[in-house]
Amino acid sequence: MVGGNHSNVTEFVLFGFTNLQDLLFVVFLITYITTLVGNLGMIVLIRTNSQLHVPMYFFLSHLSFLDICYSSSVTPKLLLGLLAERNIISFNGCVTQFFFFVAFGTTEAILLAFMAYDRYVAICQPLHYVAAMSHGVCVQLVVGSYAAGSLNALVHTSALLRLSSCGPNLTNRFYCEMPPLMLLSCSGTRLNTMVMAACVGFIVTTSVLAIVVSYTCILLTTRGTRSAEDRHKAFSTCTSHLTAVALFYGSVAFLYFHPFSRHTEDPGKRASVFSTVVTPMLNPFIYSLRNREVRSTLRRATNKLFTFMDCHRSCFNQTKARLTCHSGASRSN
């Protein structure tokens, strides 16, 4: 352990859900499958359609990938815990889950800010859009998001490892996160609190500030546009992103900026469920329902699928009919 501290706790008991476990298992399983299918479908749709090979959808495909990873860092263990008598996670497993949860969550927060910047350049500086948001620049922004997310997760995980966990090992949560684990520590947590407040505050503040500035510039630019159709087109590309931002940062703000104590576990648990399980499922629907290009691409892909299925069924029926006729002719001979 960092700093010479040694933990006597080798596992944690997560008793976030102790009632209606069978019902919750079905609900969370359906939600997780929907998350996987929706986000994977969005990635395949974007990658296979050349009309969507633009920066906005490049970022969106990575947002879908992050939603899959973000949800997968928590939900599979949650489902296994609902099937067991006690949801137990080892100390090393807890630290690993915490690292990936923070890494993917931070990366998504930063990526949402870059997506707002992309909308700002597209609407406010359309003549410079191709140069400012070239494929190389987009790749650098995405790589930077993953690097910053991993670095932030490494800092928080190192701070977590310095704590001595000597008992109790029971937490009213369904995954490993910093505030409840700090309550279980028998060593000082002041440094952890300062690190968490500084890192989360800096990332959220800078990301939200970038989003606010970007959309303020977009609003001022569109107000000077005479055509109502142009204003509607500009805002239609931003509505989906703003909805995703509101869902993500709303749950994060409630989860980390709400003063935590032993009396605030239930609201924090509800915020955790919404952030880790529900929000990743909603994003594909938000972008597919509010975005005209995605809707039209999805409609064409669905029509092609139905056409292929009808053709396959027709070919199967024709082959079956020929085999039946051939069998009847053979019996007649």
**59 pLDDT above the threshold of 90:** yes
Confidence of residue 45 (pLDDT cuts 50, 70, 90): confident
How confident is the prediction for the chain on average, in pLDDT? 80
**281 pLDDT above the threshold of 80:** yes
**26 pLDDT above the threshold of 50:** yes
**231 pLDDT above the threshold of 70:** no
Confidence of residue 264 (pLDDT cuts 50, 70, 90): very low
pTM for the whole thing? 0.81
Q: What is the DSSP string of 87-110?
A: -EEEHHHHHHHHHHHHHHHHHHHH
**58 pLDDT above the threshold of 90:** yes
Domain ranges of the chain: 20-260
Output 148 or 222, whichever has higher pLDDT: 148
Mean pLDDT of the region 77-87: 84
What amino acid is encoded at 227 in this protein? Answer: S
Confidence of residue 244 (pLDDT cuts 50, 70, 90): confident
In this prediction, residue 312 carries a pLDDT of: 61
What amino acid is encoded at 68 in this protein? Answer: I
- Fold of the domain spanning 20-260: Rhopdopsin 7-helix transmembrane proteins (1.20.1070)
Sheet holding 88-90, edge to edge: 88-90, 11-14, 170-171
- What is the bridge-based pairing of β-strands 88-90 and 170-171? unpaired
DSSP 133: T
The answer to whether the CB of 73 falls within 8 A of the CB of 32 is no
